[in-house]
Amino acid sequence: MAKPLVSFRDVGKTYRSLHGADYPAIERFSLDIEVGEFFCLLGPSGCGKTTVLKMLAGFEAPTSGQILMEGREVTGASRDRGVVFQGDDSLYGWLSAVENVEFGLRMRHVEKAARRERAMRYLELVGLRGQEQKYPAELSGGMKQRIQIARVLANEPAMLLMDEPFAALDAQTRSLMQAELASIWRTTRTTVLFITHDIDEAVTLGGRIGVMRAGPRSDVKGVVEVSLNGARARTDDTFLRYYKQVYEMIRDEVAKSLARAE
C-alpha cells in the first residue's frame, strides 16, 4: 500500500486542569488515513473525536505521540488542512459569500480576477450560484455550510477536515448535504476526515469508518471498511448490514459514555 497521507502515532492528549484532576481525553491513538479516501471518525459524544480533529488541524498540540502528514510532523495550522466547522461562527459576516470563499486566495495574494473566477467555480460546485453577493446572515444554515465547504475547497488543500458539519442542520437539509458532499468528493477526490456521531451519516459517506471508544483514554476501537458502490440507499440490505456492524461496535461505547455522564 502507498504511504498514508496522515499517521497518528500513539497520540495522547491530556487536558490540564487548575482545579481537580487532569483529564486524559485521548490515549495511544493510532490511525492512518490514505490519500484520496473518505474517512469517517465515529464515536459517542464526549469521546474526543473533535480533539483528534483539532490536533490534526494544528489548533491543539498532542501531549504525547506524534501526528505526521506526508511524513512531516504537524506543528500548527496550515492551508494543507482545510477545516469545515460545525457551526457558522467561522464565517466572516462582513464579507459576502464569494468574498468568504476567496479569503484564502486573497491571503495568498492571488490576483483578483483569478481568485474571483476560482471562487465562482467552487460556489457553483456547492450549488450556490446566484447567491454569491449575499452575506452569511442572509443565508440559511445549509447554505452557510456550503460556503464553508466552498471556502475550503477553493483553497485547494491536501485534505479536508470536517467537524460534524451537518449536525446543526434539519434532517432534510442534512441528507441533501450528505448526498452533495458525496458527489463533490467523487469529483474532487480530496482526502477527507469526517467527524460524526451519526452512524447513518458515517455509512452514507465513509469509505472507511473508524469507531472510537468512550472517553476518557479514548482510542480507535476498530475500523470498518465500507464497500458500497455508487449511491447508498438507506434501505439497501448491504447498507443495513454495515449499519448493524457499526452499531454493534459503538453500542457499548455509547452506553459507557451515558453511564459516565450520570
Which one of the spans 35-43, 79-87, 119-127, 198-206 is the region binding other proteins (CB under 8 A)? 79-87
- Tell me the closest approach of the beta carbon of residue 145 to other proteins, in angstroms: 10
Interface with other proteins (CB under 8 A), residue from 30, 66, 70, 77: 77
Degrees to nearest 5, angle at CA 37 with 244 and 74: 115
- Tell me the closest approach of the beta carbon of residue 161 to other proteins, in angstroms: 8
- Tell me the closest approach of the beta carbon of residue 172 to other proteins, in angstroms: 21
Interface with other proteins (CB under 8 A), residue from 23, 34, 68, 88: 88
Q: Give yes or no for residue 87 binding other proteins (CB under 8 A).
A: yes
CA distance 121 to 106: 16
Q: Give yes or no for residue 110 binding other proteins (CB under 8 A).
A: no
Q: Give yes or no for residue 165 binding other proteins (CB under 8 A).
A: no
Report phi then psi at 25, rounded to 5. -70, -50
Q: Give yes or no for residue 181 binding other proteins (CB under 8 A).
A: no
Which one of the spans 71-79, 113-121, 205-213, 246-254 is the region binding other proteins (CB under 8 A)? 71-79
The residue (of 44 and 136) whose beta carbon lies closer to other proteins is: 136
Among candidates 161, 163, 194, which has minimal Cα distance to 74?
Answer: 161
Count of residues interacting with other proteins (CB under 8 A): 33
- Tell me the closest approach of the beta carbon of residue 95 to other proteins, in angstroms: 8
Q: Give yes or no for residue 251 binding other proteins (CB under 8 A).
A: no
Which one of the spans 56-64, 125-133, 184-192, 204-212 is the region binding other proteins (CB under 8 A)? 56-64
**Residue 223 corresponds to which cell in the numbers above?**
475500523
**Residue 40 corresponds to which cell in the numbers above?**
469517517
Q: Parallel, antiparallel, or unpaired for β 6-15 and 64-69?
A: antiparallel
Which one of the spans 8-16, 38-46, 98-106, 206-214 is the region binding other proteins (CB under 8 A)? 98-106
CA distance 152 to 68: 21
- Tell me the closest approach of the beta carbon of residue 106 to other proteins, in angstroms: 8
Q: What is the layout of strands, in order, in the sheet containing 159-163?
A: 81-84, 159-163, 191-196, 38-42, 208-212, 220-225
Q: Give yes or no for a contact between 12 and 29, defined as CB atoms under 8 angstroms apart.
A: yes
C-alpha dist (Å) from residue 256 to 14, 43, 50, 113, 210: 20, 12, 18, 54, 18
DSSP state of 6: E
Containing 179, the helix (H) or strand (E) segment is: helix 171-188
Q: Give yes or no for residue 237 binding other proteins (CB under 8 A).
A: no
Q: Give yes or no for residue 64 binding other proteins (CB under 8 A).
A: no
Residues forming the site for other proteins (CB under 8 A): 57-59, 76-79, 81-83, 85, 87-94, 103-104, 106-108, 135-137, 144, 151-152, 155, 157, 161
